[in-house]
Amino acid sequence: MRFYSGKHKHHCGIDLHARSLYVCVVDGEGHVLLHKNLPAEPQALLAALLPFREGLVVAAECMHCWYWVADLCAEEGIPFVLGHALFMKAIHGAKAKNDRIDSEKIAQLLRSGLIPQAYVYPRQMRSTRDLLRRRCYLVRQRTELLSHIQTLNNQHNLPAFDKRITFEANRAEIFDRFANEPQLAASIGVDCTLIDALEEQIRLLELQLQRCAKIDDAQAFYLLLSVPGIGKILALTILYEIHTIDRFPAVGDFASYARLVKCAHSSAGKMSGYGGAKMGNVHLKWAFSEAAVLFLRANPRGKQLLARLEKKHGKAKALSILAHRLGRAVYHILKRKQPFDADRLYAAA
């Protein structure tokens, strides 16, 4: 975890909400200069901070509406620090807690160099990343509808579908099974209508996302496609969740951020287990886990590697190790700007 250690004349902590914010400004010695509740409006915030603009730094906790504050600070040339939500929650433990207290704590942590940092994703690519995450949500909704059709089929003890109903052409037979049950046929009809609508929206989103990737960083996009098991969607996910590989000074930092390694807890030389399973980027964890499975398709050398790892660690851990290897490979691919080299992966394993 990185802590912000910059030195400034004025430190502003903001307890941010959707419609309001509580501002606290302290000087270098920790004296409170401003403590005020404001509406969540750019002009109100700028007016309150105007007397303290010299040497000012602003910090807010990472929550759903921090975008506009970060963008406002970038436009005004004010350094902005985004506090990591999980670590901030641990630090904020107190007997009394309210917006006034929280804003001062954020300001004092910022002044002391103890505020844990989260990454401030730049405005230019942020909306595309959020659109990609929205696509994942639509895919999950589509999967739930397909599962509901399978559940109805099983509830009435009907034979399994001959073909995968994931594909639109194979869903024609569904209505014939429930022709004598009008209510069930209506339920299936709703599911199929929603599935068709979702598939069309997903298709359009994927085309738009690919166009954006070719504009934002075409080289990185095509380098990611050189990795076996990483297709267009996984490449888009990795590209936009990373933003730039230069934000990770070492491959271990990237592996930790992608949740590909466990963090050991020890004291007095004794291991007490592992922690931090939810620290990092869940979307990268999913992408590399999927890539590890797809990497094995039509890949005899990959299957041999997995067999060796399974013999030593078991199947579940072997796949996790393979995902870790792919994550390290992606780091070096983007860092060196060179396509995937299978020999290096197998030699390292």
Task: Look up residue 50 and give its DSSP letter.
Answer: G
* Sign of the four-CA dihedral 121, 244, 81, 61: positive
Q: What is the CATH number of domain 10-118?
A: 3.30.420.10
Helix or strand (DSSP H, E) at 35: strand 32-39
Report CA-CA distances (Å) from 168 to 164, 204, 208. Answer: 9, 16, 22
What is the predicted pLDDT for the residue at 197? 96
Cβ partners under 8 Å of residue 140, min gap 6: none
Strand partners, 190: none
- In whole angstroms, give the CA distance from residue 155 to residue 202: 30
What is the predicted pLDDT for the residue at 97? 85
- In whole angstroms, give the CA distance from residue 315 to residue 323: 12
314-321 CB contacts, 8 Å cutoff, 24+ apart? 319/289, 319/292, 319/293, 320/260, 320/289, 320/292
What is the predicted pLDDT for the residue at 169? 85
Radius of gyration of the chain (CA): 25
3-state SS, residue 13: strand
What is the predicted pLDDT for the residue at 108? 93
Task: Look up residue 342 and give its DSSP letter.
Answer: H
What is the predicted pLDDT for the residue at 275? 77
What is the predicted pLDDT for the residue at 349? 63
What is the predicted pLDDT for the residue at 268? 80
Q: Per-residue pLDDT for the chain (349 aa), expressed as one digit of tens each?
A: 788 888 899 999 999 999 999 999 999 999 999 999 999 999 999 999 999 999 999 999 998 899 999 999 999 999 999 999 888 876 777 778 899 999 999 999 999 999 999 999 999 999 999 999 999 999 999 999 999 999 998 988 888 888 888 988 888 888 878 778 888 889 989 999 999 999 999 999 999 999 999 999 999 999 999 999 999 999 999 999 999 999 999 999 999 999 998 888 888 888 887 777 778 899 999 999 999 999 999 899 999 999 999 999 998 899 999 999 999 999 999 999 999 998 888 887 6
pLDDT digits (tens, 9 = 90+) for 296-332: 998 999 999 999 999 999 988 999 999 999 999 999 9
Cβ partners under 8 Å of residue 251, min gap 6: 328, 331, 332
Reading across the β-sheet that carries 117-118, which strands appear in turn? 32-39, 20-27, 10-16, 56-61, 80-83, 117-118
Report CA-CA distances (Å) from 174 to 52, 148, 231. Answer: 67, 12, 31
Cβ partners under 8 Å of residue 347, min gap 6: none
What are the residue ranges spanned by the domains of the chain? 10-118, 125-216, 232-348
What is the predicted pLDDT for the residue at 6? 87
- In whole angstroms, give the CA distance from residue 99 to residue 189: 49
Contact (Cβ atoms closer than 8 angstroms) between residue 132 and residue 236: yes
